[in-house]
Amino acid sequence: MEKTTDTFPLTMNSSEEQGTVCIFGTGDFGRSLGLKMLHCGYSVVFGSRNPQKSSLLPKGAEVLSYSEAAQKSDIIFLTIHREHYDFLTELTGVLNGKILVDVSNNLKINQYPESNAEYLAQLLPGAHVVKAFNTISAWALQSGALDASRQVFVCGNNNKAKQRVMDIVRTLGLTPLDQGSLKAASEIENYPLQLFPMWKFPFYLSAVLCVFFFFYCVVREVIYPYVYENKDNSFRMAISIPNRVFPIAALTLLALVYLPGVIAAILQLYRGTKYRRFPDWLDHWMLCRKQLGLVALGFAFLHVLYTLVIPIRYYVRWRLGNQTTTQAISKKENPFSTSSAWLSDSYMALGILGFFLFVLLGITSLPSVSNAVNWREFRFVQSKLGYLTLIFCTAHTLIYGGKKFLSPSILRWCLPSAYVIALIIPCTVLVLKFILILPCVNKTLTRIRQGWERHSKVSNWH
Amino acid sequence: MEKTTDTFPLTMNSSEEQGTVCIFGTGDFGRSLGLKMLHCGYSVVFGSRNPQKSSLLPKGAEVLSYSEAAQKSDIIFLTIHREHYDFLTELTGVLNGKILVDVSNNLKINQYPESNAEYLAQLLPGAHVVKAFNTISAWALQSGALDASRQVFVCGNNNKAKQRVMDIVRTLGLTPLDQGSLKAASEIENYPLQLFPMWKFPFYLSAVLCVFFFFYCVVREVIYPYVYENKDNSFRMAISIPNRVFPIAALTLLALVYLPGVIAAILQLYRGTKYRRFPDWLDHWMLCRKQLGLVALGFAFLHVLYTLVIPIRYYVRWRLGNQTTTQAISKKENPFSTSSAWLSDSYMALGILGFFLFVLLGITSLPSVSNAVNWREFRFVQSKLGYLTLIFCTAHTLIYGGKKFLSPSILRWCLPSAYVIALIIPCTVLVLKFILILPCVNKTLTRIRQGWERHSKVSNWH
Amino acid sequence: MEKTTDTFPLTMNSSEEQGTVCIFGTGDFGRSLGLKMLHCGYSVVFGSRNPQKSSLLPKGAEVLSYSEAAQKSDIIFLTIHREHYDFLTELTGVLNGKILVDVSNNLKINQYPESNAEYLAQLLPGAHVVKAFNTISAWALQSGALDASRQVFVCGNNNKAKQRVMDIVRTLGLTPLDQGSLKAASEIENYPLQLFPMWKFPFYLSAVLCVFFFFYCVVREVIYPYVYENKDNSFRMAISIPNRVFPIAALTLLALVYLPGVIAAILQLYRGTKYRRFPDWLDHWMLCRKQLGLVALGFAFLHVLYTLVIPIRYYVRWRLGNQTTTQAISKKENPFSTSSAWLSDSYMALGILGFFLFVLLGITSLPSVSNAVNWREFRFVQSKLGYLTLIFCTAHTLIYGGKKFLSPSILRWCLPSAYVIALIIPCTVLVLKFILILPCVNKTLTRIRQGWERHSKVSNWH
């Protein structure tokens, strides 16, 4: 799909001289960066403790002592660990006024109180420190296989120095992203260490939901028949039970996307102001709503696939074949029930429409799409269409239960069907939301959100 | 999916001083912006008519009179309504040479003849007006939940002032987008007021199509059997009839994507030049082809889902069970018809391939994908693959009709099946396109599109 | 989805003067560019060999001789072919210090040894050459229908000149992308000539795979029964056989995505270093893994659709109906086989989960999504999830075979079922990968990838 890979390849012909750059450190990243820069037409000078030509260094690069190397160029890439920055203070004289590019990464998020780049800037106040290149891997530089990202986050306090580094980034075929002042360095240093931080809560939550409902269904549909009828229903664990667990997880997670908004509204109504912070758990919950919704969409997608393979399952074919055979042997036609047809068809139609809207929501949350809509449009989609999706999916589940909903015959060991439990949160959210949009309540809420305060009370609390 | 939210959070530690900014206006947006800036290390001075410390203002901010506040900073954010800009003329002296950031929005699109920012620039010719921040909501600034977009459109006539504002935007953790000179301000001011303007025509068109064909099918499939056979087919309104309406809408809209191109080609051939403007309706139609196509894809997706649930519908199971029972009772095997198998399989295969190509078209219209392909590739996909999709889908519909296509027995109250009507536009488009790519016609058209003119005639018309 | 089209339309009101630009060349592109610039408030002067007002030129533009036109503006757009650049040397005096924007394209990729823009810079060393606008088509400029891309790649050695051109690009409503120095010009000139270069290998490979397996299956399933049983199975060519070919192609291509990584690891282990280049074929293979994977996903998607329509096919309904009839006539119930139910359900569940993960992989390879994840996350998704997908899909195929896997009864003309052949590559990849992640092997590999070398051997080789 994306083909920038080949259109602007990392390796250009070095027909033209781009100037000299200096690299401190001859480790893997330093060598990879040096090789890449040589390919792009730069002269490269390595600074090293033991300035002897190593066979590992790219051909064409010079190796000098740190201070000699630093004198050859006005821009120095530091590919050394933060722990060894101390020796740089000895070079203060030669590094004064030079651009120092800090490419270092740490082993853990927030390992040090200040970022490596800011620490460097404190060590050498006379140099222009720029943070860059730490999000690019040595392997990617070497192989040119920059699938993950060609983006190089750049930050620094000196604009000229930053521009200089960004030009080099572009010459290497990468995309610089200006992140502002050096204060952004700690964010940039944490960035490559993260593994889907916003997805952790939705992921664990859905795992807990799935495991709980899986065992709940196993008890009801496998163990119960085994104990009472000695029937081996274990095969249901492959498709039938997942196909109960997944829609339950999807519906619950979707409802949990809208629950924090409702709670926040109630809190604001109760407090009579919007100028007090929400509790931390609510803030965090609101920030990962998108991830919750996308996980829910994943479960809904699985539910759709599991449902659509029903007619080609051996069990279903066997059961339908036997039903028809019994019917044929008894020689009577099955009467047609219009109400059953209506129930079956409307429950499916609601499910399909709900899933369709859900997919729309998912598409609009793609970064490139959500960047192309304005705030009003985004709110329209995520709020109006989102609630419509929730209504459709809840109605789909309600009608699925149909006549047998909550009938006592469906209880096994006093356990109701799993979908009955799944309906609790969505119905609660919808009822609360319905109350919140009643004109009288909504009017107060709107005023509060526009900055109005129920002063008398608030001032007492302050 | 996108996790910038947490990697570069809006709230940074204010360990470092970023300088002083001034905000005119103490409304909701002004306060939210001030709070955000305080968090990001700025000193904030509010300018107000009544410079008394309000409990609503963020702690740590100063409140002064307008002219005092303006003297404290070289950059002033105006969070006041355009209607109140007049008083600024009194401050001309103190505002001279300062950067004025206009964040105002209007209530309606094109409410005033010129944009608020341009109006401001006329009022204060000595100040450097920059338009920015109007697309960000107060709530998003406060909560950090910038799901919709971190993009801040910036425009202004003075490049230094613009750069200054863009640096602040970056420090707040947002992405500035340079939109050029102040002339772009009216677009930027209209932007947050729009609600899918390009989608209106496709949306209304498809609504009309759906309603028309829904009632057409209800007449043929529910009312007709009720009148003549007293059969209650009302349950067909949930799935069977939508599953006729949706493919018809999809095919018609897809054909309407390609019709304007064909009409334009015919117009160019007729006029013998490409240098005359198309009528407005054609221009507008051509500009919303993408939206038309995506709506068509939505209907096609619904059609696929409605079709795939067919075998698990109660009605279908009942009908098949009864058929087999009848067959079993009469004790004879159904003979196998190779031609029926061919018809059924090829109609489905065409439908699947058509849908597959349609999804490909949809994916390439995602902004991030279409930005990664060049013009030649985009044209290849949207034109070649697009016509292939249209051909597949039209053939799918033709073969669906199969033998009974246009046979009089299918008429009810003289109404043909709905899909027969749906074929009119696609077939017309395909026939016209076929004529246009005949070598003799195509040669002339290509010459016209490369700038050639049928002079003799044209000059007479001028 | 994207609506920038209308929010920042190309045509603005020309209420304000933007300065004068000069265009050399009065061909189609020159005229379209001139018209566009007039609309955006620029004064346009055309430079022409025969400076007489042509009716084709946009109204409001001046036409002068080259040297006269050049004197009117400090920025000159060259919309002439490279072959005619020679005459510019006569204008060296007047062009000195001016910004020359080279918009030219070639007819073939790498048609000349150096890019047109670099050639121009050599001809006129005193001018500031900027490459831009060559990726925009005349038609798109004229009609405003810039669906493909609003991106204008800009490069040049003089930063001020480049900024100037980028400002004009923005004023025209387009998005400038700074590509660095003039060295990038050859890439920019090749860009619009490319037609999915990275997709060629995956496309041809999959075409070969499909054709081979299609005929393989036709021999086994159509010709064999025709020869031995005189049965006309030709209808299987529409759905049954494609539904064998597509999953085979999908699984094989997916395995081929992971094979080069395994080969590379083995090579590195064997060589004891990572500092030697891989053979070219391996490099190229590794660079088009993403495309291979997406083509595989396409086939998997088709396989899913072809599988889900199974129960509504005429042939399947006929067969099931007859089976049940036979069963009913013989008046016995089919016994239920738990092992068959387990096999059928687990094979489908594995297929669904494999497809689900495959879709996730596809989504993360969308440019906007892969830009939003860091390198660690991308590697996690593409490597860990990727192998999980491969394991699921391989297991799906293995269990599909089930009991009859490799049984001699399934051979026809000594040909095993097609899926047996399809399993060879995936199983090989999985076994090799399993060996590579054994702790002893993995340790060595990790050390090599961190830069370690098995020196003794390597130095001899150097």
On the question of pLDDT at C460 being above 60, the answer is: no
The CATH fold of domain B20-193: Rossmann fold (3.40.50)
- Tell me the pLDDT tens digit for each residue of C133-171: 888 877 777 665 555 567 788 888 888 888 889 888 877
Interface contact A56-C451, CB threshold 8 A: yes
Task: Please give the model's pTM, rounded to 2 decimal places.
Answer: 0.86
CB-based contacts of A447: which residues, under 8 Å, 6+ apart? none
Residue ranges of chain C that CATH labels 3.40.50.720: 20-193
**Looking at residue C163, what is its pLDDT?**
84
CB proximity A239 to C under 8 Å? yes
On the question of pLDDT at C456 being above 60, the answer is: no
Positive or negative, the CA dihedral A107, A111, A112, A116 is positive
Question: Which conformational region is residue C357 in: left (phi greater than 0), alpha (psi within -120 to 50 degrees), or beta?
Answer: alpha
* Pairwise pLDDT comparison (C319 vs C8), residue with the higher score: C319
**Looking at residue A149, what is its pLDDT?**
65
- Tell me the pLDDT tens digit for each residue of C227-253: 988 888 899 999 999 999 999 999 999
Looking only at the bridges linking them, the beta strands covering B175-178 and C62-65 are: unpaired
**Looking at residue A17, what is its pLDDT?**
56
**Looking at residue A53, what is its pLDDT?**
65
- Tell me the pLDDT tens digit for each residue of C28-53: 888 888 888 887 778 899 998 877 76
CB proximity C62 to A under 8 Å? no
**Looking at residue C2, what is its pLDDT?**
35
Query: Chains meeting C at 3+ CB pairs closer than 8 A?
Result: A, B
Retrieve residue B89's tokens.
């003329």
**Looking at residue A403, what is its pLDDT?**
65
CB within 8 Å of chain A, chain C residues 156-175: none
**Looking at residue B210, what is its pLDDT?**
95
Please list every residue in chain B whose beta carbon sits closer than 8 Å to the beta carbon of residue C171.
Answer: 180-181, 183
**Looking at residue B143, what is its pLDDT?**
62
Q: For residue B388, with 0-12 CB atoms within 10 Å meaning exposed, 13-18 middle and 19 or more buried, which class applies? A: middle
Interface contact C374-A238, CB threshold 8 A: no
**Looking at residue B7, what is its pLDDT?**
34
Interface contact A366-C371, CB threshold 8 A: no
- Range B188-204 average pLDDT: 87
In chain C, pLDDT over 70 holds for what percent of residues?
89
Interface contact A197-B238, CB threshold 8 A: no
Average pLDDT, chain C: 84
CA distance A105 to chain C (A): 13
Residue (of A445, A190, C419, A178) closest to B167 by Cα position: A178
Interface contact C451-A311, CB threshold 8 A: no
Q: A324: nearest CA in chain B?
A: B321
Residue ranges of chain C that CATH labels 1.20.120: 200-449
Grouping H, G, I as helix, E, B as strand and the rest as coil, residue C151 is strand
Give the number of C-alpha atoms closer than 13 A to the C-alpha of residue B381, restricted to the C-beta side. 24
- Tell me the pLDDT tens digit for each residue of B214-260: 999 999 889 988 998 888 889 999 999 999 999 999 999 999 999 99
- Tell me the pLDDT tens digit for each residue of B151-190: 788 888 888 888 889 888 877 777 788 777 888 888 888 8
CA distance C284 to A206: 40
Please calculate the CA angle B85-B90-B93 and round it to the nearest 5 degrees: 115
CA distance C169 to C266: 49
- Tell me the pLDDT tens digit for each residue of C336-390: 888 889 988 999 999 999 999 999 999 988 888 887 788 788 888 888 999 999 9
Please list every residue in chain C whose beta carbon sits closer than 8 Å to the beta carbon of residue B287.
Answer: 5-6, 144-145
- Tell me the pLDDT tens digit for each residue of B337-389: 888 899 889 999 999 999 999 999 999 888 888 877 877 888 888 889 999 99
Q: C448: nearest CA in chain A?
A: A28
- Tell me the pLDDT tens digit for each residue of B304-315: 999 999 999 999
Its CATH architecture, for the domain C200-449, is Up-down Bundle (1.20)
CA distance A150 to A142: 13
- Tell me the pLDDT tens digit for each residue of A179-189: 778 888 888 88
Retrieve residue B315's tokens.
């009605």
Question: Which portions of chain A are predicted below pLDDT 70?
Answer: 1-18, 53-55, 139, 142-149, 402-410, 451, 455-462
Retrieve residue C414's tokens.
């000594």
Other beta carbons within 10 Å of A377: 21
Please list every residue in chain C whose beta carbon sits closer than 8 Å to the beta carbon of residue A137.
Answer: 375
- Tell me the pLDDT tens digit for each residue of C52-92: 766 677 788 888 888 889 998 999 999 988 888 888 888 88
Other beta carbons within 10 Å of B440: 8
**Looking at residue A409, what is its pLDDT?**
67
**Looking at residue B425, what is its pLDDT?**
94
On the question of pLDDT at C203 being above 90, the answer is: yes
Retrieve residue B351's tokens.
């439908």
